[in-house]
Amino acid sequence: MNQMNSAALIQDDELLIERTFDASPELVYRVWTKPEHLMRWWGPKTFTTLAYEQDFRPGGAYRSCIRAPDGKETWMAGVYREIAPAERIVMTFRWEDGAWGVDNLVTVTFAPAPGGRTNFSFHQAPFASLEARDSHVGGWSGLLDKLADYLKVAQ
């Protein structure tokens, strides 16, 4: 899959990652919103998704558990704030163990690109510290690498 990747640190409390995927916005959106797909690629590159539960509607909640290579399990959760099919998802994000001490707002966008591709944007803010923000760059980038690989077989 040919993809452009970039990660930008907007302000001290924001993270922006942009990619171009070789798949339609409809497909990228579908695999981002269905647990049967999310179970196959959600989480940082070396992590395994153990659970992904969701009530996919504005005001609905999601909850997911990922396992690190060392066996440690971590739960994350949030609430969907806005859903525009194949265009945008806005959701809260927090680690259930209280890591980093602040809930974030995550906005993902799916925009048509030439050749049936998708310009994808991932924005997360605010972060309580630079350390918290920077620790998420690798995790989300790895997750998006897994998504890119999954899109090859999901088509």
Tens of pLDDT, residues 59-91: 999 999 999 999 999 999 999 999 999 999 999
Q: Are 57 and 85 in contact (CB under 8 A)?
A: no
Total structural domains in the chain?
1
Note the pLDDT tens digit of each residue in 83-109. Answer: 999 999 999 999 998 877 788 999 999
Using the predicted structure, report yes or no on whether residue 2 has a pLDDT greater than 70.
no
Range of the domain at 59: 4-154
Helices 130-154 and 25-33 cross at an angle (nearest 10°) of 110
Task: CATH number of the domain at 21, please.
Answer: 3.30.530.20
